[in-house]
Amino acid sequence: MNYIMSNDIRHIYVISVFPDLISNFINYGVLNKGIEKSLLKVESINLREFSDKNGYVDDKPYGGGPGMILQAQPLINATRYAKSKLKNYKCIYLSPKGKKVDQKLITNVAENTNLIIIAGRYEGVDQRFIDLEVDEEWSIGDYILSGGEVAACVVIDAIARMIPGVLGHEDSNKLESFSDGYLEYPHYTRPEVIEDMEVPEVLLSGNHQEIKKWREKQSISLTNKKRSDLVKKKLS
């Protein structure tokens, strides 16, 4: 794994057979603002442009079985092209077999790492590509998607939020769920009463110290109630 200086622009390349899924996603929200501010650069690479003259990037698996497998050579060609554009990078293949992505992983990567993300399709990719080019395999959860593009968008968005200057308020990502190991406290806004349900009085008091205490208590209580596994992880 290689690193870049923290004050350099982050580069993320996504290799996909459906690059428009990535290109369209990055045009909205805080991610697009970060790109417009030149805090990060996201580029999608069409895997088919690195195939043979027939444009095929998949084939039947050796040994038989259902579905098709992405061929090693187009993936190798596309990945090495992306690597040639970066001096420092980590190459990630998004896979159900990978390490689970969590906030700690995202925070570490967002600090100083360029990424090349491989968005798989079909039944998987040729193992030889993984052995030759991939640094790590990541998973966003224990379920199966039709392709890695959605998972890539999740990773890109999570990383972008951690890059200084992308969010409107510098403390925004410090107060969100998982930032300190606990779930975020409840939020309320106007009006003060909805169907006889009132905003907690402490939030209207203007006493910032008491509000902070209330939010911390709520955060711990919610985590114990909804995600006790996070509490165990924090205490381990």
- Do 14 and 114 have their domain in common? yes
Give the pLDDT of residue 55: 82
Nearest Cα neighbor of 75 from 91, 63, 88, 62 is: 91
What local confidence, expressed as pLDDT, does residue 35 receive?
96
Q: Are 198 and 192 in contact (CB under 8 A)?
A: yes
CATH number at residue 189: 1.10.1270.20
Task: Tell me the backbone φ, ψ of residue 175, rounded to 5 degrees.
Answer: -105, 0
In a domain, 5, yes or no: no
Residue 34 confidence (pLDDT) above 90: yes
Per residue, the 3-state secondary structure of 35-102, as one string, reads HHCCCEEEEEEEHHHHCCCCCCCEECCCCCCCCCEECHHHHHHHHHHHHHCCCCCEEEEEEEEEEECC
Q: Is 147 in the same domain as 194?
A: no
pLDDT number for residue 179: 59
Number of domains in the chain: 2
CA separation for the pair 78, 84 (Å, rounded): 10
The pLDDT, as a whole number, for residue 171 is 58
Residue 2: inside a domain: no
Q: Are residues 119 and 196 in the same domain?
A: no
Same domain, 183 and 71: no
This prediction's pTM: 0.86
Q: Report the range of poorest mean pLDDT among 13-22, 129-138, 164-173, 226-235.
A: 164-173
Whole domain around residue 63: which residue ranges? 10-162
pLDDT-based confidence at 1, cuts 50/70/90?
A: very low
Window from 24-28, 117-121, 165-169 with minimum mean pLDDT: 165-169
- 104 and 219 belong to one structural domain: no
Same domain, 139 and 180: no
List pLDDT tens digits, range 60-91: 999 999 999 999 999 999 999 999 999 889 99
Residue 167 placed within a domain: no
What whole-number distance in Å separates Cα of residue 153 and Cα of residue 215? Answer: 30
Are 184 and 153 members of one domain? no
CA distance 115 to 35: 15
Q: What is the pLDDT of residues 94-125, one digit of tens each?
A: 999 999 999 999 999 988 789 999 999 999 99
The distance of Cα 1 from the centroid of its chain, to the nearest Å, equals 18
Confidence (pLDDT) at 232: 81
Say yes or no: 128 and 203 in one domain.
no
Do 28 and 142 share a domain, yes or no?
Answer: yes
pLDDT over threshold 70, residue 157: yes
Q: What is the dihedral of CA 51, 77, 94, 158, to 10 degrees?
A: -110
Give phi and psi for 108, each to the nearest 5.
-65, -40
Same structural domain, 127 and 40: yes
Domain boundary among 137, 162, 187: 162
Strand 10-16, strand 40-46: pairing: parallel
pLDDT band (50, 70, 90) for residue 178:
low
Q: How far apart are the C-alpha atoms of 156 and 96, rounded to whole Å?
A: 18
